[in-house]
Amino acid sequence: MDFKFIDLFAGIGGFHIAMHNVGAKCVFASEIDKYARITYEHNIKKISPELFINNKFNSNILDIKASDIPEHDILCAGFPCQPFSQAGYKKGFNEDKQERGNMFFVIRDIIKEKRPKAIFLENVRHLQNHDEGRTFSIIKDILENELNYNIEYKIVKASDYGLPQHRPRIFIVGFRKEDKYPCKFEFPPKKDLIFNMSDVLGGVCNREVGFTLRVGGRSSPIDDRRNWDSYLVNNKVYKIGSKDAKKMMGLPENFEFPVSETQSMKQLGNSVAVTAVEEVSKKIIKYLKTVNNQVSFEINTEKLLIQLV
């Protein structure tokens, strides 16, 4: 069975690539940033041309009714993190701009309307502790009690699944309660690094695992506690660029940025660690198949009993 997914707040396509790699098909995507859209289409059109042929790459999720979004099995969303991070002053649901602070409620409306079998959300780790935990409690309550999903969540680092970057993010995975899965969903076990920063930078690097890539901003000296983009390579200061950052994010070698270097680094800082998302996506697909196999077994058993009678 080919599982269908939608890619909300799609960025440059990290979720899409991860889900595509585990055999799922994207039937709808949405991204509002015009530069991210350029990068997304440039790369994703190669692997999912029907998404663009069928005009299913939406530019503003507020312009479409939840009922008009295609049926899907998995809802993926790295929803805007600015309101819940230090960069966004941790305003949470009090964020004034609807297109930022209230985007979770757009996700809620889509889930309520379409009832996907699974949901996979990603956000900054600060979400869990924002406003003394009240923001996350609201999200958790909506998913579990209003929408009736069993959810599991975990702070996952990119380095937990092979990439040489810290990048701690909260992953929230949920499944419909009515499907009655035979066991509890568990996140995949951690894996060793696939490669390290010396491999990324082509020389002896002073760090095995790199700093978390940021959206942008002015660089700091290498010895500054705020430094995130400079390393000692062969005893010389080296400032990373998009080519290096692309590897740290787990994007494929043929992934291209048809935008400026400034935009490329911004987009990479906003993206998801593809390898980490792929490992969890693989486990989600496997988990979805457990209930499908259970239903198939029950149907076949019922047919056998009827024949015996």
pLDDT for residue 247? 98
8 Å CB contact between 201 and 233: yes
Catalytic residues: 81
pLDDT exceeds cutoff 80 at 85: no
Burial 44-54 (b: 16+ CB within 10 A, else e): beeebeebeee
pLDDT for residue 220? 84
- Predicted structure pTM score: 0.89
pLDDT for residue 217? 64
pLDDT for residue 24? 98
Q: Which two tokens stand for residue 204?
A: 């002896």
210-256 pLDDT, tens per residue? 999 998 766 789 999 999 999 999 999 999 999 999 999 999 999 99
Cα distance between residue 7 and residue 231, in whole Å: 34
Q: Residues 176, 274, 183, CA angle at the centre, nearest 5°? A: 30
Helix, strand, coil share (%) of the chain residues, nearest 5: 45, 15, 40
At 198, the amino acid letter reads S
Domain ranges of the chain: 4-189+273-308
**97 vs 193, more confident:** 193
Q: What is the 3-state secondary structure (H, E, C) of 2-63?
A: CCEEEEECCCCCHHHHHHHHCCCEEEEEECCCHHHHHHHHHHHCCCCHHHHHCCCEECCHHH
What number is the average pLDDT over the span 268-288?
97
pLDDT exceeds cutoff 60 at 301: no
Q: Which two tokens stand for residue 259?
A: 């935008």
pLDDT averaged over every residue in the chain: 89
pLDDT exceeds cutoff 50 at 91: yes
Whether CATH 3.40.50.150 fits 4-189+273-308: yes
Cα distance between residue 103 and residue 129, in whole Å: 19
pLDDT for residue 34? 97
Instruction: Name, in order, each residue with C-beta under 8 angstroms of 67's C-beta and a sequence gap of 6 or more.
Output: 113
178-214 pLDDT, tens per residue? 999 999 999 999 999 999 999 999 999 999 999 999 9
Instruction: Name, in order, each residue with C-beta under 8 angstroms of 294's C-beta and a sequence gap of 6 or more.
Output: 182
34-71 pLDDT, tens per residue? 999 999 999 999 999 999 999 999 999 999 999 999 99
Cα distance between residue 130 and residue 91, in whole Å: 8
**24 vs 81, more confident:** 24
pLDDT for residue 291? 82
- Give the whole-number percent of the chain exceeding pLDDT 70: 87
Cα distance between residue 65 and residue 69, in whole Å: 7
pLDDT for residue 296? 44
Report the sign of the C-alpha dihedral through residues 122, 61, 31, 44, in that order: positive
pLDDT for residue 82? 54
What H or E segment, with its residue span, contains residue 238?
A: strand 236-239
98-141 pLDDT, tens per residue? 444 578 999 999 999 999 999 999 999 999 988 888 889 999 99
